[in-house]
A and B are shown apart, each in its own frame.
Chain A
Amino acid sequence: MNRLSKIIGGVFVLFGFSWWGLAVYPYLSFASLKENVDPNTKEVAPPDLPGAAQQGYRVYAANGCVSCHSQFVRDKSEGADIDREWGKRRTVARDYMKDGQVFLGVSRFGPDLTNIGLRQKDAQWFYRYLYDPRLFNPDTTMPAYRWLFQDQAIAGQPAQNALKLEGADAPRPGHEIVPTAEAEALVAYLLSLKRDYALPEAPAPQE
């Protein structure tokens, strides 16, 4: 009995220690983070997420994009992330303070997406990419997400965000392919992924 309570007590103490150190401590230390306000320009960093992106991260989560894409840029000393132009500087804790969910990811089967909104600024590009990544690289392993789009008859004017598709992908005559609400939210989220503001704790490394 005595031995049991010693074991249980030991387990609680040792386990609780790791819980405190790796879960509670980061929580407490990140809870005090404040946004950075530039004294001259009064610019707030990181900026608030646009409303549409707030929905989009759920689509990103639900579809396991994180199984193949990471979202953090390591320091120059840690890897070639910056040289690959996935970011001008490493990401720091404040970059994520306003994110509804942080998708660090442990797999780079696809490229890092921390700054995808800087590399591609056009929603149409994203729609076409998600609809058929093979338009851009015939050998790619990025899955197509055709179900995020719908085929509809053109009523009067073609829809503004209809996909510009040619060849095998082109819709039937009189029809058009348009993004669903989910696709729109997802792309709004992807477009919002840009960490191009300056934070004093993460200066861009000198060339």
Chain B
Amino acid sequence: MSVPNQTAGLQLNRVAAGNGSVLRGPILLFFVSGLFWLLIAAALWLFSAFQATDPSSPLVFPDVAWLTYGRVYPVAMDLLVYGWASMIGIGAAIWILDSMAKSPFSGGYLPLLAGIIWNLGLLFGVWGVLGGGSTGKEWLEFPVYAAFPIWLAEIIMAVWAFALFLGRRSKGGYISQAFLLTAFIAFAWAYGSANGFLLFCKIGGMAEPAIHWWYFGCLISLWLTPLGVGIVYHFVPLMIGRPLYSAKLATISFWGIVGFGGWTGIAQILGAPLPAWNQTASVVANVLLVVPVLAFATNLHLTMKGSFDLIKPNLALRFLVTGGMVFGLASIWNAITTFRSVNRILEFTWAITARTDLFLIGFVSLVCFGAIYYVLPRLVGRSWKYTRLIQWHFWFSIIALGTLVFDLTIAGVIQGFGLMDPKVPFAAVIDLTKPFLLGYELAGIFIGVAALLGVGSFLTVFVNPAWAPDSEEAPEPVINEEVSLA
């Protein structure tokens, strides 16, 4: 089984889905919606960070049900995943699949329809959870009337993606297509069956958390991961004008992620009364997942080798490559913290929250922004002008990520060792972590600033200089050192 290299795609991308394509509208819709939800998510996240760490702050409203932590925080997380990451991922996937297929079929109304329905689902979801309709299942809080539209929209997208792929003019298939199509199949299946079993059939007893956390593994490893990896595999070779280093490594990363991804979720609740082999299998899967992820990161590294200079000026590339590298680190950290000996200490602590955040902010969000910075100029026919803003955005994202993950991980380690020692009263454990929770508030502010800078850069597109697709110069956000020093 071989997945051919990306080279052949190199030329196509210059013009595909550019000005005039029917897909322009849907892609823009997904991008704008994703950024909108990101802003809301960041605001709610910051709000919840203050609430969780400082209950006497004026941001706590014990009299207002819909402003309490247990409703706000889940909405923030759901919006981050289903609003921000998923919608940008889909927007980028539309661009990639279309430009690679060169198909006469564009079915532009399908993605448009999906985008509208997806947004409605999110709207219902926010409304529902804040209004007291949360299901109380982490990452699946949306009630049926919100989950169903999202699922429907995803099915529409999957149908569109396959129709496009089957009707393609270009021969063969590429690794990023394989990842993106996989993401569409896996999410439809996982989200559909999790919500179907849990909300529709109302399965109770321990089968419920089994399905619930199986789903979480799929959400991370078979939806967000393939979207992100597909995006990196596609855009990086294009930007540096070189094919992927190794088709073999790409193949390993593909089958490894598909093979192990679905098994990873149960490791979130180790020690729960689930079949022992389920737990062992999940730990093993999390450890083995390092192999394909490192195959991906190594491939990225070797592809970039000799071109690393480019990440200094080319900001879109910088987002993508940093995101890909963080993913490699995140998967190693994920494996370490899954080992039973480490997990028994860190389980239930902030460190586990930080582990998920590292993936969502460090890998997925950076890659999403990289995709936006690459696609947007081609979509609207303009080059970037305010590259400094994008540079600020990049550094703020890194600072936010670092503060968040570093801080919560230390808090989690302290909390973990504290909880392991029954002589330390529970309230004392919380007190020990309090200084770090202030850092959490700070991280929340940084995340908010980074999100604002990202959205701000996006909006500058309207004042950016026009770019003609056939002109030689690429419209990437490239820092021109000569100009900036002046």
Q: Which residues of A are interface residues toward B (Cβ below 8 A)?
A: 3-4, 6-8, 10-12, 14-15, 17-19, 21-23, 25-27, 29-31, 33, 60-68, 70, 72, 74-75, 78-80, 83-85, 90-93, 95-109, 111, 134, 137, 139-147
In the complex, the chain B residue whose C-beta lies closest to that of A202 is B273
Q: Are A31 and B186 in contact (CB under 8 A)?
A: no
Q: Are A84 and B214 in contact (CB under 8 A)?
A: no
Q: Which of B60, B69, B190 contacts A67 (CB 8 A)?
A: B69
Judged by DSSP, the binding face of B is helix
Q: A102-B209, A147-B64 are in contact. List 6 more A-B contacts (CB 8 A).
A: A7-B182, A23-B197, A65-B136, A68-B52, A96-B206, A145-B62
In the complex, the chain B residue whose C-beta lies closest to that of A22 is B214
Q: Are B132 and A63 in contact (CB under 8 A)?
A: yes
Give Cα A22 to B73, complex, Å.
27
Distance of B115 from chain A, by nearest CB (Å): 25
In the complex, the chain B residue whose C-beta lies closest to that of A18 is B262
Q: Are B204 and A79 in contact (CB under 8 A)?
A: no
Q: Are B52 and A79 in contact (CB under 8 A)?
A: no
Q: Are B269 and A97 in contact (CB under 8 A)?
A: no
Residues on B with C-beta less than 8 A from A4 are 165-166, 173
Q: Are B178 and A7 in contact (CB under 8 A)?
A: yes
- Residue-wise, chain B 415-449 has the 8 Å CB interface mask toward A (1 for contact) of 10001111000110011000000000000000000
Give Cα A10 to B52, complex, Å.
44
Q: Are A11 and B214 in contact (CB under 8 A)?
A: no
Q: Are B62 and A106 in contact (CB under 8 A)?
A: no
Residues on A with C-beta less than 8 A from B202 are 100
Interface residue B485 (Cβ < 8 Å from any Cβ of A): no
Q: Are A62 and B134 in contact (CB under 8 A)?
A: yes
With A65-B70, A146-B62 in contact, do A14 and B262 touch (Cβ < 8 Å)? Answer: yes
Max chain B CB contacts within 10 Å: which of A3, A21, A85, A134? A21
Distance of A203 from chain B, by nearest CB (Å): 14
In the complex, the chain A residue whose C-beta lies closest to that of B277 is A21
Residues on A with C-beta less than 8 A from B420 are 79-80
Q: Are B258 and A63 in contact (CB under 8 A)?
A: no
In the complex, the chain A residue whose C-beta lies closest to that of B198 is A101
Residues on B with C-beta less than 8 A from A92 are 273
Give Cα A137 to B429, complex, Å.
13
Q: Are A141 and B262 in contact (CB under 8 A)?
A: no
Interface-forming stretch among B149-157, B341-349, B374-382?
B341-349
Q: Which of B60, B136, B265 contacts A101 (CB 8 A)?
A: B136
Q: Are A11 and B182 in contact (CB under 8 A)?
A: yes
- Residue-wise, chain B 114-139 has the 8 Å CB interface mask toward A (1 for contact) of 00000000000000000011111110
In the complex, the chain B residue whose C-beta lies closest to that of A26 is B210
Distance of A46 from chain B, by nearest CB (Å): 11
In the complex, the chain A residue whose C-beta lies closest to that of B60 is A143
Q: Are B269 and A104 in contact (CB under 8 A)?
A: yes
Give Cα A67 to B72, complex, Å.
10
In the complex, the chain B residue whose C-beta lies closest to that of A132 is B62
Residues on A with C-beta less than 8 A from B281 are 21-22
Q: Report, nearest first, the 8 A-B pairs whose CB atoms are least far apart.
A: A64-B70, A61-B136, A18-B262, A83-B422, A108-B348, A26-B210, A144-B62, A74-B271
Interface residue B203 (Cβ < 8 Å from any Cβ of A): yes
Residues on A with C-beta less than 8 A from B172 are 3
- Residue-wise, chain B 83-101 has the 8 Å CB interface mask toward A (1 for contact) of 0000000000000000000
Distance of B133 from chain A, by nearest CB (Å): 7
Distance of A48 from chain B, by nearest CB (Å): 13
Distance of A171 from chain B, by nearest CB (Å): 14
Give Cα A32 to B261, complex, Å.
29
- Residue-wise, chain B 316-353 has the 8 Å CB interface mask toward A (1 for contact) of 00000000000000000000000010001101111011
In the complex, the chain A residue whose C-beta lies closest to that of B52 is A141
Q: Are A93 and B135 in contact (CB under 8 A)?
A: no
Q: Are A11 and B185 in contact (CB under 8 A)?
A: yes
Q: Are A101 and B208 in contact (CB under 8 A)?
A: yes
Interface residue B222 (Cβ < 8 Å from any Cβ of A): yes
Give Cα A32 to B250, complex, Å.
43
Q: Are B185 and A72 in contact (CB under 8 A)?
A: no
In the complex, the chain A residue whose C-beta lies closest to that of B264 is A18
Residues on A with C-beta less than 8 A from B282 are 22
With A4-B173, A15-B186, A139-B427 in contact, do A100 and B204 touch (Cβ < 8 Å)? Answer: yes
Residues on A with C-beta less than 8 A from B349 are 107-108
With A64-B71, A140-B427, A145-B62 in contact, do A95 and B347 touch (Cβ < 8 Å)? Answer: no
Give Cα A97 to B207, complex, Å.
9
